[in-house]
Amino acid sequence: MAMQAAAIEVEGLVKRFGEVVAVDGISFSVPRGSTTALLGGNGAGKTTTIGMILGLVTPTAGRIHVLGADIARERYKVLPLMNFESPFVDLPKRLTVAQNLSIYGRLYGVADIKGRIAELADKLDLGELMKRPAGQLSAGQKTRVGLAKALLNRPEVLLLDEPTASLDPDVADWVRALLESYKREQGAAILLASHNMDEVERLVDQVLMMSRGRIVARGSPSDLIEKYGRASMEEVFLDVARGRSSRSLATEVTE
């Protein structure tokens, strides 16, 4: 039962930037030991939602609880139990990979930092990169190093933005297996944004489809594929991105 308790709870979340409503009253939960995907086109509100869960963006309205803590008032209680990775957020470029990971390990209060870094370097094949400045890494190398940073503190809540971006198919497949293993062994909750629908079908228990700041569909990948009458999540994603609801699609089929 503990594995099914909510790690993330979001209620009536709203974010306005002036006259622009980026997130418009969304509610959802992410159980422990599960993976949830936030999907939608550019501007749907995914990144803003993740920023609010991390406490980096202040909501206009609504509540967020992570591991039972109110992010508005108690986020410092749970920040050591969370982590985030995005290939679009650079690590300090002049520092080597080893220096970056060591500093982040200290920030997160990781015990036996050298041992943990060595373990992740082995798992993510970073050995040859450890002495290289972060600014000299390729896009795929940056993604692997970012994942190592995100797993340093063995987070109970892991937020990922395009976790396999810029990786070749073989390495991407290996990283997905690593994330599945991590979730299973640690009982962690994972919330990810991805445009890779094969990845979503493989990794995700719950999909939240966003459009114009609202959740317009939710369910498991198989449920949404059936609901929309499509063959894959790729086709479902395109329907949502183009503003086509499951109801309108059902009407098209019967006409």
Which residues touch 211 (CB under 8 Å, ≥6 apart)?
Answer: 40, 41, 44, 240, 241, 243
By percentage, how much of the chain surpasses pLDDT 90?
A: 82
- Which DSSP letter does residue 91 get? P
pLDDT tens sequence across 29-38: 999 999 999 9
Q: List the one residue out of 82, 68, 55, 77 whose CA is nearest residue 191.
A: 82
- pLDDT band (50, 70, 90) for residue 165: confident
Domain that holds residue 248: 2-254
* 243 vs 84 pLDDT, higher one: 84
Residues linked to residue 184 through DSSP beta bridges, in sequence order: none
Mean of pLDDT values over 166-177: 90
CATH number (domain holding residue 241): 3.40.50.300
pLDDT at 248 over 70: no
Mean of pLDDT values over 50-61: 95
- pLDDT band (50, 70, 90) for residue 247: low
Cα torsion at 214, 219, 220, 225 (round to 10°)? Answer: -90
pLDDT at 254 over 90: no
Q: What's the mean pLDDT when you consider all of the chain?
A: 91
pLDDT at 134 over 50: yes
Mean of pLDDT values over 83-93: 91
Which residues touch 106 (CB under 8 Å, ≥6 apart)?
Answer: 113
Mean of pLDDT values over 155-176: 92
Residue 59 to residue 182: CA distance in whole angstroms: 30
Number of compact structural domains in the chain: 1
Cα torsion at 124, 168, 36, 179 (round to 10°)? Answer: -20
The pLDDT value given to residue 166: 85
Query: How far is C-alpha 158 from the geometric centre of its chain's CA atoms?
Result: 7
Q: Decide: 210 and 216 in contact? Cβ < 8 Å.
A: yes
Secondary-structure breakdown of the chain: helix, strand, coil percentages, each rounded to the nearest 5: 45, 25, 30
Residue 240 to residue 69: CA distance in whole angstroms: 33
- pLDDT band (50, 70, 90) for residue 49: very high
pLDDT at 253 over 60: no
C-alpha dist (Å) from residue 172 to 60, 114, 141, 164 = 37, 26, 12, 5
pLDDT at 215 over 80: yes
Mean of pLDDT values over 211-218: 95
Cα distance from N-terminal residue to C-terminal residue, the chain: 46
pTM over 0.75: yes
Mean of pLDDT values over 165-185: 92
The pLDDT value given to residue 5: 77
The pLDDT value given to residue 4: 57
pLDDT at 41 over 90: no
The pLDDT value given to residue 31: 96
